[in-house]
Each structure stands twice: as structure tokens, then as C-alpha cells.
A = this chain, B = another copy of it.
Amino acid sequence: MKIKIKGMGIYLPKQVVTGEEIDKIIGKKIGWTSNYVGVKERRYANNEETVSIMGKNAILEALKDASMSLEDIDVICYAGASVEQIIPSTACLIQRHLGLGDSGISCFDINSTCLSFLSALDNLSYVIESGRYKNVVIVTSEKASAAINTKEPESFALFGDGAVAMIIGKASENEGARIINAMHRTYGDGADLCSIPAGGSKIPPNVSSVTRESEDQFKFHMNGKKLLKLSFQKIPKFLEDLLEKSNLTLKDIDMVCPHQASTSAMRLIRKKLNIPEEKFMVIIEKMGNMIAASIPMAFYIAVKEGKVKRGNKVLLMGTSAGLSIGGVILEY
């Protein structure tokens, strides 16, 4: 499909939190977070830097990047796991911050946790291809710091906050930009390996459900070892099928922008898949795992650093709670 990324923008919260500061919070020896977890820095959003405000800022940057104005937007899709409030959908709140609250621009949310951005890109590319919308904004704004759990140091030390927005539209006839192929597979057997068990309709928050003893279930839980094991079982075949469907081999891919799940998991999976280090964007050391913002942020940085140029073939790929595996191969 002749789909083009017309512009990109990001927002990074002001507060930088170092590995040493994390070590102190979770009571680890100084150096543990930076060296063992491999995340030296991450950003934490403050109370003013809500998901919708960060999202708005990223969209304004993306519009600048695309030389577009607010009037050019047809849809705002919030694609992330850190919804700002339970009702309404986060895209509506972002629309209002942009001063578009009387515009009628269509707003809705897509959620597949860490793969939300890819799910939105994948599904909405067909809508754009049809001509229904000209310019779709996919905005992923994540505030992992709102739900991480000091009782699970390994995941607590991983996460960071931030936002990425992309403006997607049709490529013109003489442009090569396109989505070559996309795939998304879910293995619900792994649903408990990465979860926030409460806070939804099963265990809604109220004074009876939220106590010192139970508070923990409203926070993030991850069984890193079992997640890695399941990912190891499923990812190689996933990539093989995606490449085959695309009539491509790994050699044809100029850059892989993976989900920044964890430093060690990324290294192990890169080796398992035989992807050379220089073709594999790693931004986790300075950014942490930014939930669904990780993949588009890795892509954004790859482009800004000149590692991905127009005409390059890029594989965006990752896993998410679910367990899901998602991949999009595009020509930028």
C-alpha cells in the first residue's frame, strides 16, 4: 500500500531520572539499574505532563515536521496503554488540547498495549488507502511511571515516559513510500505474564478494593523469564512468515526498530534472529521501555540520526502483553 509517514514529532518529559536514583527507590546497590537492567536514564512525566498534554506536544512537532497545519488532520487515533482517564477516550482529550474541540475531527483509541502503535498503523493504513481520510495522526503517549511497582525491581527499573506522533497519509504516484506487509499474532495463553490485573471492570477501584494489602494488583506485573521463553518460541516463525509473505529476506531490511522490551531480551532475540547489531536500533539505555512509544521512538531517532533514509526498508517489530507479536515492514 502506498502509505507515507509525512511527519513525526516527539515529546520527552523534562525530568531525567538516572539509574542511581532508581537504585535508591528500590533499595538496590548503586549501579544495579544502569549495569544489570541496562537503563541508565529515563524520563518521568510530572503531574502537568499528562498523557494528553504530551500527546498534543508531539502532534504539534509532527505537524511542523510535515509542514502541515491543524486543519489538515482528519483523524486523531490515540494508540497506547496509558489512557488518561477511563472515559472518554484519550484522543478526545488530545483533540481539545489542540484547540480542535469544535472541529468534528474523528477521535478514538486503539489498544494492544506495547503494540498499540503498530496495530493503529496496520489497521488504519487500509482506511487511508481507500481514500476515506487524507491525513491520520497516530499518537502514542505513555506514562509508565503511573503504574510501575517498587515491589518488582526488575520491571520498575525498566520503564520511562514520553510521546511520539506520526502523520500518515497516501504517498503520491512518484513516491516509493509504502507499507510492504504487516502481521499481528496473539497468544492469550500468555495473558498473565504481563498484566495490571485490577482497575478495569473486574476489580474496579473503590475504598474496599484499594487497600495497603491489595494496592499492588492495580500496578504492573511482569514475569520476564516466562515472557522471554514464550517470545523465543513464537518470534522466529513470526519473522520467517512475515518476510516470506513480503518476498524479502533479512538482508533486504535496512533497519530493525524493535520494541525496547528489556536490554537482555532484545540482545537475546537479536542474536536468535541473526540480526546484525548495526541494523538493530537500541534506545533503551537512555529512554527505558516506553510501552507503545518505544517502537515509533526508535524509528524517529533512527531517522533523525540519519540511520534510516527515504527509500530504506524498515522492520518495526515487537511483543506486547497478551502475548502478542506484531510486525510492519515499510519503505520509508
Chain A residues within CB distance 8 Å of chain B: 50-51, 76, 81-96, 100-113, 115-116, 119, 123-124, 126-127, 129-130, 132, 143, 146-147, 184-191, 194-207, 210-212, 215, 218, 220, 234, 320-324
**Are A110 and B110 in touch, CB under 8 angstroms?**
yes
CA distance A211 to B84 in the complex (A): 20
Other than A76-B186, A86-B147, A126-B126, give 4 A-B pairs with Cβ distance below 8 A. A85-B196, A96-B191, A101-B191, A123-B127
**Are B211 and A85 in touch, CB under 8 angstroms?**
no
Q: Which 5 pairs from chain A and chain B are nearest by CB?
A: A96-B188, A101-B189, A205-B205, A88-B321, A86-B196
**Are B88 and A195 in touch, CB under 8 angstroms?**
yes
**Are B188 and A146 in touch, CB under 8 angstroms?**
no
Question: Known: A83-B200, A110-B110, A143-B201. Is A322-B89 also a contact (CB below 8 A)?
Answer: yes
**Are A322 and B189 in touch, CB under 8 angstroms?**
no
Question: Known: A87-B81, A111-B108. Is A50-B186 also a contact (CB below 8 A)?
Answer: no
Query: How many copies make up the complex?
Result: 2
Question: Known: A88-B321, A126-B132, A200-B84. Is A186-B106 also a contact (CB below 8 A)?
Answer: yes
CA distance A202 to B82 in the complex (A): 9
**Are B95 and A186 in touch, CB under 8 angstroms?**
yes
Question: Known: A88-B113, A186-B92. Is A218-B191 also a contact (CB below 8 A)?
Answer: no
